[in-house]
Structure 1
């Protein structure tokens, strides 16, 4: 009998917790993969003070933008470049009036810590094939990943693209490029400065000159012109001192 009562109580408690979770307003945020750590922390802090359950979908900005265009249930979008936000504005898939630049980042070259690579000077005299050896250079795919596009632009402006292109290991997003270097499957990689900071297995060996590529900007926008209370609250929360402190902690430059 006691076992039966315990089971009944357990079922009632589980049902109660499940109902409480369902009662919270769901907020769905689509964001660039490079924002994974910072936004996860921000979402947790936001939910502590709001009756919400914030969920994130992290991927390449291009992948997310196309999903939003096709009607994916996103409420807030944060892109890793202006191009894919421009794309959604043109498609009238976001509220263009809500668009603003939230953050900035830097482009860096990384290598596995175990490799012991010394500081690399990024200029037009850098011998990419010699640096890489018989391995590869990991990047987000320049055909659609913002980090890869910035990398291609920087390498082109430095006159290094033709030597680099055949040696690229193209990843689906910047975190996948980071993982290739972490596992030693690529001897170097090009990622954002913030990605390098969250990994214990890689180190930054060079920072690309800011003049070698367009500013790395993260625009944010609401999807709907009449957003839900929860999505509007999260959108506003992104510019609070609490959120800014978390972004800075992970290496982003706040407005």
Structure 2
């Protein structure tokens, strides 16, 4: 009888690498995403490549392709988590707020908490916000759409007139710009100066209250220590 003889493995189980557990698969996926974040931080989305990611992650190319089809897919996972963090943080803050001044402050603190969790990766995120060729731009618009809807729903719940689209976008873009300024001023690889973050928080609170609030809101804010204190 000619041909190769196939010898089955013991008990009919094929020899070779044992299958990964779900926990092991999650660990490898997380390692790839962390490496992608590092490459994105250094090179931006245009500098992403499978070669750079696997070198940073310390894995083989076949291992990478077991989890992702190209270099952009893990970046999309990161941006999805980023959006969920920002929108979810603002959603939770709005749910805890029942007074307009408190509402504005809660939105700011949620935004700052989101920014704090990004570390150095915040720089390329902000650098590509308005680049139509970058996936960051699309995710930013999705997040803004969700935040707009949340704010309008909260205004309706409080029985207040809805903010105009221009006022709402101005408030959101002011927050975006101030956080960008603070992150850009920090030394590469380091956290922003706490004093700068404190001042940025107050700038954002004042801007949002004046843009989205009414006269009664501003008068109420004048009684809150630290927001509109006179400067020496």
What's the TM-score once normalised by structure 1's chain length? Answer: 0.24
Q: Name the structure with the higher helix share.
A: 2
More strand by share: 1
TM-score by length of 2: 0.25
